Amino acid sequence: MSLILRKEKEKKNDKDFVWKDYYMEKQTKKRINILLLGSGGREAAMAWKLSQSELLDKLFIAPGNGGTEYYGINLACPNLNDFEAVATLVTNNAIDLVVVGPEEPLVRGIVDYFAEHHPSVPVIGPAPQAAHLEGSKEYSKAFMQKYHIPTARYKAFSPEEEKEANQFLDTLEAPYVLKADGLAAGKGVIIAQTREEASEALQKLFDGATEEDKKHVVIEEFLSGIECSVFIATDGKSYVLLPTVKDYKRIGDGDTGDNTGGMGAVSPVLFADEAFMKKVTNQIILPTLEGLKKEGITYKGFLFFGLMKSKDNPYVIEYNCRLGDPETQALMPRIKSDFGKLLTAIAEEKLEQYSLAIDPRFVGTLVLASRGYPSSYIKGYEILLPHPPEGTTIFHAGTAIKDGKLVTNGGRVLALSSYGSTLQEAIQRSYAIAEQVLFDGKNYRHDIGKDLMV
C-alpha cells in the first residue's frame, strides 16, 4: 500500500466550498491476467464467475465458445494438449495464472510442463500423477482400497483376461457395472441389467481397446442408492468444501437411455445433510488427502468425489481431477465470494486464509442438447436466445459464431441456470426459459430435480 495526496472539496455552511488535503491509501496490488482453458459449459460458468473478480485485469478463454466472449477474450487453440501452443498464448498475452477446465490436459501433464518450462506461471490443476485418480479407474479403485475409502467391490481385467472377467461377473448379481479404464468424458460407464447384456458390454469395451493403448475394464458390484457430487478445492495443505450438487447423466426422462456428460444439475442436495457430510469428510475426503500425501503427491486444484448414498452411508463411485459439467453451472452461481481469490489462494498455498461465502438459494440447471446426442448429431443450426430474466443465466457450451450468427456446435448446446427460494421454483424458471430458446433439434429432459421434490 502507498499514500497519495488528493485534494477534495469540503462542503461548508451549505454554500461555500473549501479545498482540503486528504491522504488516501492506494491499492498497489497488481491485477492479473487469467487464461482459462476449455470450451464447454463448465468453462462458461467459470468465466462468468471469474469476470466478477476484483483481482482480474483481463480474462482469456482458449478456445472458448460462442458465449464466453461475454466474459473475456476467446483465443484460438485447436489442441489444448499442445502445451507449447498453450505456452505461446501465455507469453503473448502476459498471462499470470492458467486455469485448466477439462481433464485431458491435466492427465497428459500440462502442470508438469509449465513447472519445467514456465515456472513463474502457476497452473490451477493437479499434476499428472495426481490426475491419475481420474485418468485410470483401475488406479483409483486400488487407491481407495489401499486407504480404506468406502467403494464398491471390484476387479480389473485386461483384454486377454476375458474368461476371468466373465467368471467374476458370475459372482455378482444384476445389474452389473462395467467401466472402461482411462478417460471417457463421463460416458465410459455401462450398467447392464442382465448377465447377457454384461457379456456383450464386456466384449464391446475390450474390442474398443487398441494394440497401442490396451485398456483394462473395471467390473464393480452395483450399489443401490442415490448419487451426489462433492467438490473440494485444495492447495495441497488445506481444503475448502464447495456446495453439493446432484447431476443427471442419462439422456432420457426417468433416468433412461444412454449415459451422457450430464443433462442437468441441482444445488444444494438436501439429502446430503450434516450427518451424511460428516461421514463424507471423515471416511472419504480426509483419507483421500492423507493417502495422496502418503503417496508423495501434492494435489493442487479441484477434486471431485462422485458419491452414492446407500443406507445412509457414502461410497465413492469415482474421482474426477477437475470441476464437473454440468455441476459447475449449478455450483458457480452459489459461490458468493471472489472466485479469482480462491484460485490465487490455491496457487499461493494460502487456502486456509480464504473464506468461502455460499448463496443459500437453490440453483436448478437444465441442459439443452442436440437431437441425437450422445450419439451422432448435426451441427450448425441457428440459435435464437431470449433475454433471460434476473436470476437466470444462460451458459453456452456447444455453440459457435458462424457468419455472424450463433449456431449449435456440440452435443450439449446450452445450460440454463436459475435461482429459486425452493428447488421447484429454481428448476421451473430454467424450464420456462428452455421453452423460449429456439434451435432445430432442441432436446432436453423434463424431470430434472423431480426425484428430490417428493
Output the 3-class SS for the chain.
CEEEEEEEEEEECCCEEEEEEEEEEECCCCCEEEEEEECCHHHHHHHHHHCCCCCEEEEEEEECCCCHHHCCEECCCCCCCCHHHHHHHHHHCCCCEEEECCCHHHHHCHHHHHHHHCCCCCEECCCHHHHHHHHCHHHHHHHHHHCCCCECCEEEECHHHHHHHHHHHCCCCCCEEEEECCCCCCCCEEEECCHHHHHHHHHHHHHCCCCCCCCCEEEEECCCCEEEEEEEEECCCCEEECCCEEECCEEECCCEEEECCCCEEEECCCCCCHHHHHHHHHHHHHHHHHHHHHCCCCCCEEEEEEEEEECCEEEEEEEECCCCCCHHHHHHHHECCCHHHHHHHHHCCCHHHCCCCECCCEEEEEEEECCCCCCCCCCCCECECCCCCCCEEEEECCEEEECCEEEECCCEEEEEEEEECCHHHHHHHHHHHHHHCECCCCECCCCCCHHHCC
Query: What are 347's three cell numbers?
Result: 496457487
- What pLDDT score does 185 carry? 53
Q: Is the pTM of this model over 0.85?
A: yes
Contact by Cβ (8 Å): 79, 110: no
Report the Cα–Cα distance between both ends of the chain, in Å, rounded: 55
Query: What are 407's three cell numbers?
Result: 449456431
Q: pLDDT digit of tens for each residue in the chain (454 aa)?
A: 344 444 444 444 444 444 444 444 444 458 999 999 999 999 999 999 999 999 999 999 999 999 999 999 999 999 999 999 999 999 999 999 999 999 999 999 999 999 999 999 999 999 999 999 998 899 999 999 999 999 999 999 988 899 999 999 999 999 999 988 877 655 568 889 999 999 998 988 888 654 444 578 999 999 999 999 999 999 999 999 999 999 999 999 999 998 899 999 999 999 999 999 999 999 999 999 999 999 999 999 999 999 999 999 999 999 999 999 999 999 999 999 999 999 999 999 999 999 999 999 999 999 999 999 999 999 999 999 999 999 999 999 999 999 999 999 999 999 999 999 999 999 999 999 999 999 999 999 999 999 998 6
Beta strands 16-26 and 73-74 are: unpaired
Sheet of strand 226-234, all strands in order from the earlier edge strand to the far edge: 239-241, 226-234, 301-310, 313-320
Query: What are 51's three cell numbers?
Result: 469476470
Contact by Cβ (8 Å): 80, 62: yes
Nearest to 234 by CA among 133, 140, 362, 109: 133
- What pLDDT score does 208 carry? 65
- What pLDDT score does 182 carry? 74
Nearest to 366 by CA among 439, 425, 331, 415: 415
The amino acid that residue 208 corresponds to is G
| Residue 175 preceded by cis peptide, ω within 30 | yes
- What pLDDT score does 29 carry? 58
Cα distance between residue 208 and residue 202, in whole Å: 10
CA atoms within 13 A on the CB side of 122: 15
Rounded alpha-carbon distances, angstroms, from residue 346 to 95, 99, 113, 122, 332 = 17, 11, 18, 10, 17
Query: What are 382's three cell numbers?
Result: 441457428
- What pLDDT score does 19 carry? 43
Contact by Cβ (8 Å): 36, 61: yes
